[in-house]
Amino acid sequence: MPPQSSLVAIYPGSFDPITNGHLDLIARGAKLAGRLIVAVLGNRSKQPLFSVEERMELISSVAKFPNVEVASFDGLLADFAHARGASMILRGIRAVSDYELEWQMALMNRRLRPEIETVFLTAGEEYSFISSKLVKEVASLGGNVAGIVPALVEARLKERYETTRRT
């Protein structure tokens, strides 16, 4: 399916770090939209492993599609999407447990900006168990995350956790 050339979509998340599940959704979203903006949330209430800038650099290095760009945002997703001219928010669903929270956020975004639709894509079965939180936990304990994150991300995780263990 060729991308809808005028459709701008936002794929938001913390991406701390980006996983192969995220990349799968980016690849599929890039086929649906003429322009897909991967939007990194700069949530100050969380303690991310990687800075917003590092996450943006990692995404840009591994998500190489001509119609995909990477940006960051703080504040309301609906406002960011509106400011970027998006008419669609793309969200991934790994399991039924994801649906309730995602549904609540979609309804709130619709209330804030009714002209912006939220579209859910189900995770590929090979990625349905992957979360950034689980990846960080396994990597922090020296476990193997090869195949569930891009090689560059795997290397950065090893580097970050080796530095943490030394200090």
CA angle, 37 as apex, 64 and 127 as ends, to 5°? Answer: 65
Q: Which of 31, 46, 133, 158 is catalytic?
A: 46
Contact 74, 92 (CB under 8 A): no
Type of residue found at 8: V
Q: Which of 22, 35, 113, 136 is catalytic?
A: 22
What is the rounded distance in angstroms from the CA atom of residue 55 to the CA atom of residue 24? 17
Q: Does residue 96 sit in helix, strand or coil? A: helix
Active-site residue flag, 132:
yes
Phi and psi at residue 136, to the nearest 5° = -65, -40
Active-site residue flag, 22:
yes
What tokens appear for 20 in the block?
């192969």
Active-site residue flag, 97:
no
Q: Which of 35, 91, 94, 113 is catalytic?
A: 94
Q: Which of 113, 132, 136, 156 is catalytic?
A: 132
**Which sequence positions are flagged as catalytic?**
22, 46, 94, 132
